Structure 1
Amino acid sequence: MNALLSGFFLGLSLIAAIGAQNAFVLRQGLQRRHVLAVSLACALSDAALVFLGIVGFGTIIGKAPWIAMVMSLFGAAFLAFYACRSFYSALRHEASLNPAETIAPSLKATLLTCLAFTWLNPHVYLDTVVLLGSISANYGAERFHFGAGAITASFVFFFALGYGARLLAPVFANPRAWRVLDLLIGMVMSALAVKLLLGVFA
């Protein structure tokens, strides 16, 4: 139980910070589009990453720094593209920001975008695979209980974020709120893209 709770709270602390993936899940939840699929994709991706860390894949990543560099470049390019989309969305006519009046992306396109936010982020490998993997080694035979706690935290967080976002629906009935959200998302994506590039070229 100690290992399970430790994994849960550590996993929750790592994914609760505002980031590209969380911002995307929040937006999908506010629009009530593909919420189940997006939340499940994020949680299952985290589960796969935690498992890789527990079985020792983090050691391989730690000895191959070029993996992080390549992922940083691809991740920065993707984040910059999505930031531009968010800024463009914020600058459009207010009426077009109403989610009921826009054309919803297909489930396939939404899932591909969601998975890109997860798997093209090099920090997810450092935090989830390397960090959680190295800490789980301290629990010996109970490391899988530790991993189960971290995986549980991912499911709780992403489903709470996706479905809890609808509580903010009255606020986002105002098109200006969508404009502000898109601006904030664009700023977050831009900052993360710059951070990734600085990590590569610094």
Structure 2
Amino acid sequence: MNLSEMPSLLLVDDDATFRSVLSRALEKRGFAVTTADSVEQALPLASANPPEYAVLDLKMDGASGLVLVQKLHELDAATRIVVLTGYASIATAVEAIKLGATQYLSKPANADEIVAAFGHNPSTDVPLEAHPASVERLEWEHIQRILHENGDNISATARVLNMHRRTLQRKLSKRPIGL
């Protein structure tokens, strides 16, 4: 298969090593890969030749990957977009899907996971919950995750959350409804 017959893929990530390794892996899987290290560098490339597929980092220097998701979707609504991030959250995942992303993956994600994610259909795969989690429940889960990441150290967790230690202790002593 020559280059013009391969599906086009735009890879945007500010980590040069990750971008290079992932680019080679995706080329081996049959994609014609174009790379950029920022939203600002990717926009002219995408405007000149809208890609069939895109893999975007969420958090980069300059504009957020969410800006690029929206622009790519405006250029061609059929573009299959996978958003990668080391800072996964429910809010940004929902926002990415609303803006036109096909799937949202946490780093580290390998090329096979990314290629599989292109086949994801966000409009039908996940039904909306009849009773979505409350803000209190989401806050509780977030605090628990950060607490676990800090080896159950209250003081370290409070610093990460930019919260007074006593406030964190009060929040931990209360369990949200439905938990």
Q: TM-score with structure 2 length normalisation?
A: 0.25
Structure having the higher strand fraction is 2
Larger Rg over CA atoms:
2
Q: TM-score with structure 1 length normalisation?
A: 0.23
Structure having the higher helix fraction is 1
Structure scoring higher RCO (CA < 8 A, sep ≥ 6) equals 1
